[in-house]
Amino acid sequence: MRGRFIAIEGLDRSGKSTQCDRLVAHLTETTGNKTHLFKFPDRSTPMGQIINQYLTSGVALSDQAIHLLFSANRWERIEDIKALLEKGENVVLDRYYISGIVYTQAKGLERQWCTNPDLGLPVPDITLFLTVSPEVASQRGAYGEERYEKIAFQKRVAALFHEVAQRNCITVDASGTEEEVANAINQCVETVQIGEALDKFSGL
Ligand code: FDM
Ligand code: MG
* CATH number where 58 lies: 3.40.50.300
Kindly state whether residue 200 falls inside one of the protein's structural domains: no
Kindly state whether residue 198 falls inside one of the protein's structural domains: no
User: Going by CA atoms, what residue is nearest to atom 3 of ligand 1?
Assistant: 100
Task: Determine the Cα–Cα distance for residues 136 and 125; give it in Å rounded to an integer.
Answer: 29
Kindly state whether residue 204 falls inside one of the protein's structural domains: no
Kindly state whether residue 120 falls inside one of the protein's structural domains: yes
Kindly state whether residue 154 falls inside one of the protein's structural domains: yes
Range of the domain at 125: 5-190
User: Going by CA atoms, what residue is nearest to atom 7 of ligand 1?
Assistant: 100
Q: Which pLDDT value is given to residue 78?
A: 98
Kindly state whether residue 201 falls inside one of the protein's structural domains: no
Give residue 145 CA to ligand 2 midpoint distance, Å: 9
CB contact at 8 A, 93 and 16: no
What ipTM was assigned to the predicted interfaces of this complex?
0.99
pLDDT at 203 over 90: yes
Give residue 196 CA to ligand 2 midpoint distance, Å: 33
Residue 196 — very low, low, confident or very high, per pLDDT cuts 50/70/90? Answer: confident
Kindly state whether residue 196 falls inside one of the protein's structural domains: no
Provide the number of structural domains found in the chain: 1
pLDDT over 70 percentage in the chain: 100
Give residue 40 CA to ligand 1 midpoint distance, Å: 7
- How far apart, in Å, are the Cα atoms of 51 and each of 79, 107, 140, 202? 21, 17, 23, 25
Kindly state whether residue 202 falls inside one of the protein's structural domains: no
